[in-house]
Homo-oligomer: A and B are copies of this chain.
Amino acid sequence: MTLYLIGLGLNDEKDISLKGLEAVKSCTKLYLENYTSILQCSKEQLEELYNKSITLANREWIENSSQQILNLAKENNVAILIVGDPFSATTHINYIVEAKKQNIQVEIIHNTSILNAVGITGLQLYKFGKTTSIPFTDDQAQLETPYNVIKENKKANLHTLILLDLKPEENRFMTINEAIKTLLKIEQKKKEKIVTENTKIIGTARLGSNNQTIRTGTVQKLKDIDFGKPPHCLILPAKLHFMEQDALELWE
A residues lining the B interface (CB < 8 Å): 7, 9-19, 21-22, 85-88, 90, 93-94, 96-97, 100, 107-108, 110-113, 115-117, 119-120, 122, 124-132, 152-153, 156, 158, 208, 210, 243, 246-247, 250
CB distance from A145 to the nearest CB of B (A): 11
Given contacts A19-B15, A96-B247, A156-B156, contact A130 B132 (CB under 8 A): no
What is the bound-complex CA distance between A88 and B246, given in angstroms? Answer: 18
What is the bound-complex CA distance between A132 and B93, given in angstroms? Answer: 25
Contact partner of A156 (CB less than 8 A), chosen from B85, B120, B125, B129, is B129
CB distance from A52 to the nearest CB of B (A): 16
Tell me if B116 and A112 are in contact (CB < 8 A): yes
Chain B residues with CB under 8 A of A14 = 17-19, 22
Chain B residues with CB under 8 A of A110 = 9-10, 15, 112, 116-117, 208
A-B contact list, 11 entries, CB within 8 Å: A7-B112, A9-B17, A15-B110, A18-B21, A87-B119, A90-B124, A90-B243, A108-B120, A110-B208, A115-B115, A116-B116
Contact partner of A131 (CB less than 8 A), chosen from B108, B122, B125, is B125
Contact partner of A125 (CB less than 8 A), chosen from B87, B124, B132, B243, is B87
Chain B residues with CB under 8 A of A208 = 110
Chain B residues with CB under 8 A of A125 = 87-88, 90, 115, 131
Tell me if B116 and A87 are in contact (CB < 8 A): yes
Chain B residues with CB under 8 A of A126 = 90, 130-132
What is the bound-complex CA distance between A127 and B115, given in angstroms? Answer: 12
What is the bound-complex CA distance between A108 and B15, given in angstroms? Answer: 12
> Which residue from chain B places its CB closest to the CB of A246 in the assembled complex?
B97
